[in-house]
Structures are given as structure tokens and as C-alpha cells.
Amino acid sequence: MISSVLIANRGEIACRIIRTARRMGIRTIAVYSEVEPHAAHVELADEAYLIGAAPAAQSYLDADKLLEVAKASGAEAVHPGYGFLSENAKFAAQVEAAGLTWIGPPPSAIEAMGLKDAAKALMEKASVPVVPGYHGDNQDDEFLAKKAGEIGYPVLIKAVAGGGGKGMRKVEDPARFGKELKAARREAKSAFGDDNVLVEKFVSSPRHIEIQVFADAHGNAVHLFERDCSIQRRHQKVVEEAPAPGMTDEMRAAMGSAATDAAKAIGYEGAGTVEFIVDASNGLNADGFYFMEMNTRLQVEHPVTEMITGQDLVEWQFRVASGEPLPKLQDELAINGHALEVRLYAEDPAKGFFPSPGVLHHLRLPAASGHVRVDTGVRSGDEVTMFYDPMIAKVIAWGSDRADAIRHLSRAITDIEVIGLKTNAAFLGEVARHPAFRAGELDTAFIERHQDDLVPQVEAIDAEVLVLTALYTLLVENAARSESHDPFAATDGWRLNAPNPVLTHPMAFESPDGRHAVLVGFSKGGIVVEAEGETMSLSGQLLDGGNTLSALIGDKRLDVAVRTFGPAIHLFRDGRLYELERIDPVDVTGEDEAGSGDLTAPMTGRITAVNTEAGARVRKGDALVVLEAMKMEHTLVAPSDQTVFEVLVEEGDQVDEGSVVVVFDKEEDGEG
């Protein structure tokens, strides 16, 4: 067994690997960039080394620096995690050439599966079913457009290198093929350094089902069943679960056999995932799945497989890399219960899921239990930067069956508290509660189809939220004043010879959806608040050091988490965050001035394309600028029919959030 390992990665997966390595008595060496000297994975490891500047190309993608650290630290092995260099055959070969153990498949296997076109050709030879399409070397734009027509629309353009939805475009209209091809090439070149693509048939009612495989150097290969990853957004997985809803024993056996055949065909060793696209238009059938690609590494969603099998896949990786046989063979593996995983991201669903980098002023994640697991690489006070993936944590729930697992997942999501940046927590909660999801009606268009139900806009402040905020404010003020023993400082509303309650105490709060006024009165039974046309009687107390408000509104009792940061009050109810700030109720100033209407950068990032110029007449929705941030491209479109007055950026520029990138002619009225 190896005794020390360099983890060539960061964040959540680095922490995950460290935990298993420590349990096995393996010394861990971490690496970090200049922006994260105190990151969680750095402090969790036995030792850590600085490897460069924040951009991944100058740190986590610098193979030479990683090998220097491995040598300096005396590491015996290198674990690449996932992402970065995890599927880089050249790096794997360099590690082995340096006399180190590579915790992953042989470089030849990585190379065989590294390019989607070559991989599909290899799978065809191994009799593994593949999606109809063109996977050849001819990269001429006109030739590819011709092939798309022969395949039949809709088609998918996919980068031959990499994964994660980068360099992938669905095309339904032949007239848009050229534009989408250009965008796919640009994104693929930026992400993988390779702009070659393939074109294949888009499968209707597609489900994304993958098989976890494992092989050793002794000729053994097994599968640890399937994961359904159909709930996706922009080809990025949002929810993963195991086993797949509706899976039959016959289809599981057929897919498992195809996956292990694929692994054997390339001399595979270690952990891998064979991904299939499944035509679910007529349910799940043993002859309705097609090979998509093979990920020659551990997957982000591996915890759901661990939860239903009781196996630690990272431990399996260490053991296989050390030359040991697989810990279990196929007939020793079984499915127990059901597990689901969601990815908590720093992003704003209400604004097209734009990444939301920033400081985690407050972070509270669900407590671990026999039903809930949380994998994270950040803590309160840490920063989610624009340089890396915006994932904050993975929340995994296990249950005796799918319905039980969903109940535990839904409850866990409501326990998430984040202050400092936007997250998709409320969106994840809506997915988990959606009737179609609970019924197992899954395919890759699920989010697009139900977007109006799933994507929360600015949280509307209702009467209950207002009265809870008013109650919290009064209780905090009373606690602060109670020590003074000054009767004139009391806020119980007592007035000489005046009946109770009297609604004479005005309060006002500002929230993203506007300004809200309330009137407060007092009675012997507690507080009376009038808000949004409703009058409610309530009482309550502060618990948990003032972080929990236990309130009684009429006959309804509820506990809500409340946090203050600066002047803002953050109230968490049913998994949703409501942010309010108390203001002077008689202040009538502060109305927002009309904005300039110019196009601004929604986040910090790099300009990768500019599609307009001064004097151009643009229509609402026209793509004007493409911004790359947090590993994804984001298209900035014209907000209305206007004339461009000036373009302030060019390709390659780095811009800050809020920076104006395109100025429109202010003398126009904006009418088309």
C-alpha cells in the first residue's frame, strides 16, 4: 500500500480524498494557488505547497510544478481527483515516468477514451451501441453542415475532447448550424485546447444514465450499478441518483455488461464511468441505450454509488493503484436503498444561473447523519472566486426507497444557509418537491420544460415574512434595552390611559422587491402587527444565541433561522432566503434613478467574443458580447432595439462585475 499521496486538485474533491487517505494511514500533500493559502483542503492535508497564481493554467494545470512538488514532498503517488489534469494522458505518463504511482487508469486507456470520436469508433469495434453520427477527422465547416443534414435535425455538436457540456450545442435549425459550430469550437478551444468536434443525432426524450466501473491489474472488472444524471442544465448535471428510476434487471444487466466490455476493450484499471444516452420515449428498454463517452476518472456524483453499495470508491482507487485486486467481485455487490445528490452552486437562478462569486460571510450546511452526507471544500469566511468551479457543496441523501430519499433530501436543502452570494438552494428545493420529479418523469429537458415552476425570481416579501422580521427586530431591541432598567426605554407599547393594542409604532424595511411598511401595537398577550393589509397577533423568543426566532403567529408556531450581517437581516424560511434592511419609515428619499440601460458585465470574467460595433443597429435579444467566467461562457444580449454608440471592450479583456461593456445611443427612445 502506498504511504503518501500528492493530491493534484483543490476544493471539495481534495478534501474528500484526504479524509479517506487519513483513515487508511496515508500521508496527504496538498497544493494551492495564491488566492487560497488558507483553503479547507490546505488546512486539512498533512502538508501543502504553493504552486502558482490563481488562473488554473498557472497552477493546477501546470504539470511541471505539480511534479516538482511531488518530488520535494517525497510523495509516492499522485491522485488527480476530477477536472484539471485528471484525464490528461500526458500528465499520467509523466507521473509514471517520474517513478510515482498514478491513481487512475493507464495513460493508454485515458488516451483511448480522451477523444469522443476515436472512443466511439473503438466502442463500435467492441460491439457497444453508439449514437448515429459523424465522428471522423474531416473538420471542414461545410462538410460538417452537410453531415448534419444527412443525420437529420436536431443534432448535437460536441467537442471531441473534455466533457461537462463545454463545447456542446444542440442545433434544431440548419440555418443556425454555422453559428453554433463557431461557438462550440471557441468554447472547446478555451476549455480543452482542442476545437475539433463531432456531430451526432439528438435523441428524443433522452435520459443520461451512466455505469460506474472498476477494474484491477489482475483481469477483474466489475460495475457498481447505474446512476441517473438526467436532470441537467446546459449539459451540466444538477441532480444525480442511484439506482435509476424505472430501471429493469434486464436493462441493468445489459448496460453493466456493455460498460465492463468497454473497460476491458481498452485495458482499463481503476475507477471509470461509462456514460450512455438512453431513448426513454417508450420507457427503459434493453435495446434503447447508446454509448456517449467514458470518463476515465472518479465522477463528481460518485457518493450516490457509495451510499447504495456501502463501498468507499476512493479507498478502492488506492488499493487498485497499489496492485491489490478489487475488494469485491460482481456477485458480492448489491444495491441497498436509494440515494440522490444535488450540487449547491454559487449562482443566481433568477438571472439565468449566472455565477455569483463572492465571500461566504455565513455558511451553514445540513448536519451529517445516517441519511445525509455533505461533501464540501469551503467554510464561512472563504471566498468562491471566479477562477474555479462555483460549487459550494454536494448534498447527498439516502433512503430505504426513492420516496424516502427525496424526503430526506428536501429536508436537508431547507437547512442550507448562505449569506454573501447567491446560490441555487431554492431552485434545488423546487426540483426535489416537483411532482414530476417525485413521479420519476425524468429526461434531460426536465429543467427547461418546468423552468417556470423551478426557477425562483426575486423572493417576494409576504406578510408573514414582514411580521417575523418586525418581531425579530423588536426582540433584539428589547434585549439590548432590558439591561438599562429605564422604563422610558421599554418598547412594550404601554401608554397612560390608552387602550391596548394601539397600532402606533411604525416600522419599514427595504428588500430587493421594494419597500414595506408595518405598524406595530402591543397588548398583554404579545405584539400585534399590521403588514400587507393583514393584522396578526404574535409572540416569540430568541434562541440559539439570537440566531433562531421561535414565533407564535396566531395559532401557528414556527422556528426560523435569522442572521444579521451589516445592516441587513437575513431570514431563512422553508429553504428560502429573505433579505431585509430596516429603514426610517418617514424617509421618502432614496428612489432609484433610472439606469443608463447600457450593457454591463453580470460578473467578473474575460471577454471571448465581441459581435457588434459602434453604429450598429441591434435588436432585442441579439448576442453582443460573450463573457467567460467560472469555466462557462455567458452571452450578453441587447436589452432592447437600439443603436450601439460605443463598444468599450475587445476580445481578451478582463472585466469586473458591473463594468459597462456596450454603450447605447441615449438620444434614441429605444423603439424598434
* Active-site amino acid positions: 297
Phi, then psi, of 454 in degrees rounded to 5 = -95, -30
Cα gap 425→392, rounded to integer Å: 11
User: Angle, nearest 10°, between helix axes 402-414 and 425-433?
Assistant: 150
* Cell reading at 48: 501543502
SS3 state at 588: coil
SS3 state at 236: strand
Contact 297, 271 (CB under 8 A): yes
* Cell reading at 397: 441523501
Torsion of CA 425, 427, 428, 431, to 10 degrees: 160
Cis before 366? omega within 30:
no
Cα gap 60→389, rounded to integer Å: 13
SS3 state at 631: coil
Pairing of strands 338-345, 236-242: antiparallel
- Identify the bridge partners of residue 279 per DSSP, sorted by sequence position: 206
Amino acid at 463: A
Cα gap 79→55, rounded to integer Å: 21
Q: Which of 259, 289, 287, 261 is nearest to 274 (CA)?
A: 259
Q: Report DSSP state, residue 492.
A: S
- Identify the bridge partners of residue 359 per DSSP, sorted by sequence position: 383
Cα gap 393→378, rounded to integer Å: 8
Q: Which helix (H) or strand (E) holds 289?
A: strand 289-295
Query: From the CB of residue 592, how many other CB atoms can be counted at a distance below 10 Å?
Result: 5
Cα gap 336→311, rounded to integer Å: 11
SS3 state at 103: coil
Q: Considering all CA atoms of the chain, what is the largest pairwise distance in Å, rounded to the nearest integer? A: 94
Torsion of CA 604, 607, 610, 615, to 10 degrees: 50
SS3 state at 101: strand
Termini Cα distance of the chain? 70
Give the Cα-Cα-Cα angle 67, 72, 77 (nearest 5 degrees): 55
Length of the chain equals 672
- How far CA 478 is from CA of 113, 130, 516, in Å, comes to 66, 69, 22
Using a 10 angstrom Cβ sphere, with 0-12 exposed, 13-18 middle and 19 or more buried, the burial of residue 41 is buried
* Cell reading at 432: 426535489
